Amino acid sequence: MRMVDLIEKKRDGQALTKEEIEFIIQEYTADKIPDYQMSAFLMAVFYEDMTDEEIVALTLAMANSGEKIDLSSIHGIKVDKHSTGGVGDTTTLVLAPLVASVGVPVAKMSGRGLGYTGGTLDKLESIPGFKIELSDHAFIEEVNKNKVAVIGQSGDLAPADKKLYALRDVTATVDSIPLIASSIMSKKIAAGADAIVLDVTTGEGAFMKNLKDARRLSHMMVRIGELAKRKTMAVISDMSQPLGQAIGNSLEVIEAIETLQGRGPADLLEMCYVLGSQMVVLGQKAETLEEARDLLEKAISSGAAFETFQRMIKNQDGDETICQHPEQLLTAQFEIELPAKTSGVVTKLVANEIGIAAMLLGAGRQTKEAAIDHSVGLKLHKKVGEKVEKGEPLLTIYSNSQQNEQVEELLYENIHIGPSADKPTLIHEIIT
Ligand code: URA
Ligand code: CA
Cβ of 312 below 6 Å from ligand 1: no
Q: Which ligand is nearest to the CA of 247?
A: 2
Measured by CA distance, the residue closest to atom 6 of ligand 1 is: 180
User: How far apart (Å, rounded) are the C-alpha atoms in residues 329 and 191?
Assistant: 31
Q: For the chain, how big is the Rg over CA atoms in Å?
A: 22
Question: Which residues, at least 6 apart from 108, have a Cβ–Cβ distance to it below 8 Å?
Answer: 80, 81, 92, 96, 120, 148, 149, 150, 151
Active-site residue, from 108, 162, 168, 428: 168
The DSSP-derived string for 310-371 is HHHHHHTT--THHHH-GGGG---SEEEEEE-SS-EEEEEE-HHHHHHHHHHHTSS-SSTT--
Q: Which ligand is nearest to the CA of 83?
A: 1
Q: Please choose, from the candidates 398, 411, 367, 83, the residue with its C-alpha nearest in 3D space to the C-alpha of residue 253.
A: 398
Output the CA 267–ligand 1 centroid distance in Å: 24
Output the CA 118–ligand 2 centroid distance in Å: 10
pLDDT at 154 (0 to 100): 77
Report ipTM for this prediction: 0.94
Q: What string of pLDDT tens digits covers the 432 residues of the chain?
A: 999 999 999 999 999 999 999 999 999 999 999 999 999 999 999 999 999 999 999 999 999 999 998 999 999 999 999 999 889 999 999 999 999 999 999 999 998 877 777 789 999 999 999 999 999 899 999 999 999 999 998 778 999 999 999 899 889 998 899 999 999 999 999 999 999 999 999 998 888 999 999 999 999 999 999 999 999 999 999 999 999 999 999 999 999 999 999 999 999 999 999 999 999 999 999 999 999 999 999 999 999 999 999 999 999 999 999 999 999 999 999 999 999 999 999 999 999 999 999 999 999 887 777 889 999 999 999 999 999 999 999 999 999 999 999 999 999 999 999 999 999 999 999 999
Helix (H, G, I), strand (E, B) or coil at 17: coil
Q: Which atom of ligand 1 is nearest to the CA of 180?
A: 6
Residue 381 annotated to the active site: no
Across the chain, how many H-helices and E-strands are there? 17, 13
pTM for the complete prediction? Answer: 0.94
pLDDT at 74 (0 to 100): 95
pLDDT at 75 (0 to 100): 93
pLDDT at 111 (0 to 100): 84
Q: Which residues pair with 80 in a beta bridge?
A: 196
Output the CA 83–ligand 1 centroid distance in Å: 10
Active-site residue, from 78, 81, 82, 162: 82
pLDDT at 153 (0 to 100): 85
Cβ of 196 below 6 Å from ligand 1: no
Best mutation site among 207, 224, 239 for ligand 1 pocket (most ligand atoms within 8 Å of CB): 207
Output the CA 138–ligand 2 centroid distance in Å: 30
Q: Which atom of ligand 1 is nearest to the CA of 179?
A: 6
Output the CA 113–ligand 2 centroid distance in Å: 14
pLDDT at 204 (0 to 100): 87
Asked if residues 80 and 188 have their Cβ atoms less than 8 Å apart, the reply is yes
